[in-house]
Structure 1
Amino acid sequence: MHSASTVLSLQTRGGQLVEFTTELERWVAQQPITEGLCSVWLRHTSAGLIVCENADPDVQRDLRRYLWDLVPDGDTRFVHTAEGPDDMPAHVRSVLTGCQLSIPIIAGQLQLGTWQGVFVWEFRAQSHRRTLAVSLLGV
């Protein structure tokens, strides 16, 4: 059994998805593990980690519209507004999307589908630097 780990850092833009599939695939390919599991953990509570279609940008636009309609900025029901009207909505969106992914590794490659990409989704209105802890476990 072997393991490997790293920390990735991504610059986000407010409300946008940032794909990092290529960076993750490149790092996995450099490791001695050919069969196993890749775990990705987003170290933030106001951004999300998702696998999503990466071919048609309309998918991302539709997802954003739906999620922001579901949890709008400035909703008067929220008490926690310490960092502004997008603060609590960002936390809710983060809970809905999650902050952890597990992706199988077979023959030294992430087993993503043809149109699947791995994304950090920034839920705050401002840009941020987001960090991800990535671990591999396998043979």
Structure 2
Amino acid sequence: MPHQQTIEASTNGRGTTEITAEVARIVRASHIETGLVNVFVLHTSCSVILTENADPTVRRDLETLALRWAPDGDSAYRHDSEGDDDMAAHGRNILAGSSITVPVSNGDLKLGTWQGIYLWEHRTFSHRRRIVVTVIG
């Protein structure tokens, strides 16, 4: 039987918030031994990513890359109703993605040694974000 739960995460503006432990807790509570977990964010100005969890400079460098991919306040943007970071945040969401899928093995996340699951906030101000975690197997 699939298991689904919605979690909330608070952000401090642009940057990453690790949610690996919360997703792992939901996987264990599902009692599914082998399968997949999908982590999907219910917003269009943040992303869910799987990335390095050992060296925080990796995540800081992702911000540097994102500034190049989708700069704030570009004069070519038409959508700016919520500020200079509005369209840039939507573009970053498209590039980084709204969901990830991770294998479940022996009732737990099957992650690599240095992998972690993160909510990546693309807006400059803090937000409360909702994330749907679905475990199937």
* TM-score, normalised relative to structure 2: 0.97
Pairs aligned (count):
137
The unaligned stretches of length 5 or more in structure 1 are: none
Which residue number corresponds to residue 60 of structure 1?
A: 59
Structure 1 vs Structure 2: percent identity of aligned residues? 42
- The answer to whether 1:74 aligns with 2:73 is yes
State the Cα distance separating 1:96 from its structure 2 match: 0.2
1:90 corresponds to which residue?
A: 89
Q: Within 5 A, what are the aligned runs for 1:38-49? A: 38-49=37-48
Runs (4+) of structure 1 exceeding 2 A deviation are none
Q: C-alpha offsets along residues 39-83 of structure 1, whole Å, 9 cap, x if unaligned? A: 111000000110010110110111111111221111111010000
1:5 maps to what in 2?
4
Which string of whole-angstrom CA distances, capped at 9 and with x for unpartnered residues, describes residues 84-133 of structure 1?
00000000000000101111101101111011000010000100000011
Rounded to whole Å, the distance in 2 between the matches of 1:14 and 1:73 is 14
Find the counterpart in structure 1 of residue 99 from structure 2: 100
Q: Please report the RMSD computed on the Cα atoms of aligned residues, expressed in angstroms.
A: 0.8
Q: 3-state DSSP class of the match of 2:104?
A: strand
Which is worse superposed, 113-122 or 22-31? 22-31
TM-score by length of 1: 0.96
Show the 5 A alignment for 1:24-39. 24-39=23-38
* Contact 2:15/2:60 (8 A) holds in 1: no
